Amino acid sequence: MNKSVKNPGKNPGKNVAVLFNSGTVNDDLFATFADKILSGGAGGAKVGGIVQEMSSKTDGKLGSVDAIEIDTGKRIPIKTPHLKTTPAGACLLEVSMLAECSGAITRALSGDFDIVVIEKFGRQEAKGEGLIDEIMAALVSDTPAIIALPEIYQTEWNNITGGHIEIISADIDAMLAWWNK
């Protein structure tokens, strides 16, 4: 799939990717960001999209990852432990569940939202699959987008976006500064 962003929209600075190393990022960084701008001044921003939440591993059992629709709170199980088919501690992406995640992003882009949060541009998107169509739609829409970008997929991200999207560090202060500029 050869998708790329030639013009990131009417306002090129309106979108940002948040570069993180999966070993060092705060697991609830994007949820914290969404909460802070939802509760901001003048009633807060209307925030749509998805954030991810990892359940903790307890008693030797594997954790899982849910995508959470910001506007509805609906939980979508996107990674679940599969003890018999994966190495210990591994989860498998439930690719079929990404279709459910796309609804939250599509709603944020077609509704009366101030920003769309997308956690994250991952392996599937780097291959031109998964939520890539929704991410590309977000980048060319009039709605500002903030997208989680793991360091290991930065090359693919730059290839797809042509390097036209600002990249900031995975830091709540940097994210809020971007939103407030």
Query: CA-to-CA distance for 78 and 64, rounded, in angstroms?
Result: 8
Assess if residue 149 is contained within a domain: yes
Q: Are 20 and 151 within 8 A, CB to CB? A: yes
User: Which range of residues forms the domain containing residue 33?
Assistant: 13-56+66-76+99-180
Taking residues 15-31, what's their average pLDDT? Answer: 83
Assess if residue 132 is contained within a domain: yes
Higher pLDDT, 64 or 172: 172
Assess if residue 91 is contained within a domain: no
Higher pLDDT, 1 or 29: 29
> What was the pLDDT predicted at 8?
39
Three-state SS for 58? coil
Domain count of the chain? Answer: 1
Higher pLDDT, 181 or 72: 72
Nearest in space to 108 (alpha carbons), one of 47, 176, 45: 47
Assess if residue 175 is contained within a domain: yes
Provide CB contacts within 8 A for 36, sequence distance 6+.
Answer: 172, 176
Higher pLDDT, 87 or 45: 45
CATH number of domain containing 42: 3.40.50
Provide CB contacts within 8 A for 97, sequence distance 6+.
Answer: 67, 76, 77, 78
Assess if residue 41 is contained within a domain: yes
Provide CB contacts within 8 A for 152, sequence distance 6+.
Answer: 22
Assess if residue 103 is contained within a domain: yes
The pTM score is 0.84
Which residue intervals of 4-163 are DSSP H helices? 29-38, 98-110, 123-126, 132-140, 154-161
Which residue intervals of the chain are DSSP H helices? 29-38, 98-110, 123-126, 132-140, 154-161, 172-180
Assess if residue 86 is contained within a domain: no
Taking residues 64-76, what's their average pLDDT? Answer: 91
